[in-house]
Amino acid sequence: MSSAPAARDLANAIRALSMDAVQKAKSGHPGAPMGMADIAEVLWRGFLKHNPANPHWVDRDRFVLSNGHGSMLLYSLLHLTGYGVSLDDLKNFRQLGSPTAGHPEFGDAPGIETTTGPLGQGFANAVGMAIAEKMMAAQFNRDGHAIVDHNTYCFMGDGCMMEGISHEAASLAGTLGLGKLVAFYDDNGISIDGEVEGWFTDDTVERFRAYGWHVIPNVDGHSAQEVKLAIENARKNTDQPTLICCKTIIGFGSPNKQGKEESHGAALGDDEVALTREALGWKHGPFEIPDEIRNAWDAHDAGAEKEAAWQQRFDAYRAEFPELADEFLRRMRGELPADFDQRADAFIAECQQAKEKVASRKASQNTLDAFGPGLPELTGGSADLGGSNNTVWKGCTSISADDASGNYIHYGVREFGMTAAMNGICLHGGLRPYGGTFLTFMEYARNAVRMAALMHQPNILVYTHDSIGLGEDGPTHQPIEQIANLRMTPNLSTWRPCDTVETAVAWKHAVKRDDGPTALIFSRQGLPCMDRDDAVLANVAKGGYTLLQTGDGQPEAIIIATGSEVELAVQAAEALGAAGKNVRVVSMPSVDAFLSQSSDYQEAVLPAAVRARVAVEAGITDYWYRFTGLDGKIVGMTGFGASAPAGDLYKHFNITAEAVQAAVESVI
């Protein structure tokens, strides 16, 4: 009877597959997979709770490869343990249409929990997943019934550590006491430019201890026993997140390139691959895994047993708490309460009837007061601006390290970390996060916004103080180009409402959207509620609609406006109407929603024959030429703002009803 394969032999299967795939593609990063293979073998075979037959099992452990350039490590693990990643998929690494992309892409292959590659964000995603686990456990677990009880594991490298987002995410994780989060630091001392000691000399151990982490230093990342003991130690500490600092050799096994930058981001070369096989004692051909190695890696039986045990616990929970069990499953499926549409529509109608003049940021808070009680999954937050963003509604309860049963997260001044953590919360499931900051500070979080869109995650991004209308804080705080930036991001829905009605409609859209993020952009200054009959009200959700027309039939000119500038457009149109002009005002709170409508509807709102068009928005003007054409006029900003009261600024930059009227007269 043959003995079971040694841990090193099992890890060498990862090394072989990784260097073979990179070599075949002649592109990729073999060094990290080869360096972290021993750590991965211990974690995945000895500790990770997962079931390859059901990658979406709700109580699985989450595994995040934050150093996503080492994607072949993850693909090898998924293949070896029995997920739907075939040998052919590995052979097609980095090829068009293959699920084994250059960096792990969420949704491309089963078992990939998040898209990683922009360094540090995977780590922040993992923090978000751990927050979600802690909140869901606090909200649903009962004495003797732990239906939410899993860990989040994250691999990260020097690049992740150097990125500023690691500071934001690690600090938040320590503050919130995320004891189910375990991060492995691949301390190999090498990045693309060579030995990192020339540009990265942080005392990482003391840095993370200062954040409130449990740190296990000086672990030999090539010793299965040391790694095993470190993980056991980490799992015992349920009050603090744990960082396991593993000393590894990048490109482990390569006689001439291990420990060097040459193994970081390029194929080893045919000759070096052959030498590495010999050095590792790996006597098998390219992409060849012997049966004894494959059988030892296969996780189907163990995974099925773990899920069956959880199902038994959940059945007992359901017998005692049937309503809670149904609510848990509803939320994990991402389904909204059955009465949400009815409640939302009733509130929208109330807003139209009340015709209240308020800042749209306040209208947003009022909407949360109306929607929140019927959406227990709604999880708010702000980057230290809750009182300004108005993200705190009447039913908010803050979470803390000691009590995570609430529904509001104080992210602190961490816009990037907040947004990436919210992506992780979305990916975990069971919660619908929204988070606020000033629109201009969206720039701090820009790449995480992009990642939400890329991953089709329904993150809700609340941005207030949306224009020069914020006034005296000046050009550093006044957004100019940010709205256009958001609108041009694929799969990001962007709304800039003009009043209470459009705000409530925008929130309804954001809550119902399940295939991507929504940016909600709100004003600081008060905005009047526009007149609408029922027919007009029904068109608000279409993103662009005829709000007002001063005559019948085909208009002579069209004014397109958003947000606070809709009031100016209406004033200008009324003055033109009094002078006998037939002018239409189109409110366009969401360009993407409008462009998703039928061509017939778009033509009805913006007839192609009407070439006399003016757009008005207190942001960068260039974006709007797509609707006005080069013959049209745009009233807006062509540079940065200034520090002064809002009314003075609008006059100074000539964004007034009179300017809109003059622009219309010039194009008719």
> What residues are labeled active site?
415
67: which 2 tokens?
Answer: 């150093």
Q: Specify which residues 216 forms β-bridges with.
A: 244
The answer to whether the CB of 28 falls within 8 A of the CB of 267 is yes
Output the 3-class SS for 191-224.
Answer: ECCEEHHHCCCCCHHHHHHHHCCEEEEEEECCCH
Polymer length of the chain: 668
With contact defined as beta carbons under 8 Å apart, do 499 and 527 qualify?
Answer: yes
Using DSSP's 3-state secondary structure scheme, residue 633 falls into strand
**Is 380:461 a contact under the CB 8 Å cutoff?**
no
Q: Establish how many alpha carbons lie within 13 A of residue 522's alpha carbon, considering only the half-sphere containing its beta carbon.
A: 33
- Answer whether 397's CB lies under 8 Å from 406's CB: yes
Task: Return the residue matching tokens 């009880």.
Answer: 149
Residue from 168, 74, 154, 158 nearest 122 by CA: 154
Whole-number Å distance between alpha carbons of 7 and 598:
59
Please identify which residue in the block is written with the tokens 């003075």: 648
Alpha-carbon distance of 592 to 582, in angstroms, equals 27
Enclosing H/E stretch for 72: helix 71-81
Strand boundaries in 31-175, DSSP class E: 62-65, 152-157
C-alpha distances in Å from residue 516, one per residue of 88, 458, 461: 31, 5, 11
Q: What residues have CB less than 8 Å from 620, skipping those under 6 apart?
A: 480, 481, 483, 484, 636, 637, 638
Return the CA Rg of the chain.
28
553 alpha-carbon distance from chain centroid? 45
Distance CA 575, CA 555 (A): 15
Please state, in angstroms and rounded to a whole number, the distance separating the CA atoms of residues 112 and 130. 16
Q: Are 193 and 199 in contact (CB under 8 A)?
A: yes
Q: How many whole angstroms separate alpha carbon 210 and alpha carbon 174?
A: 9
Pairing of strands 557-561, 613-620: parallel
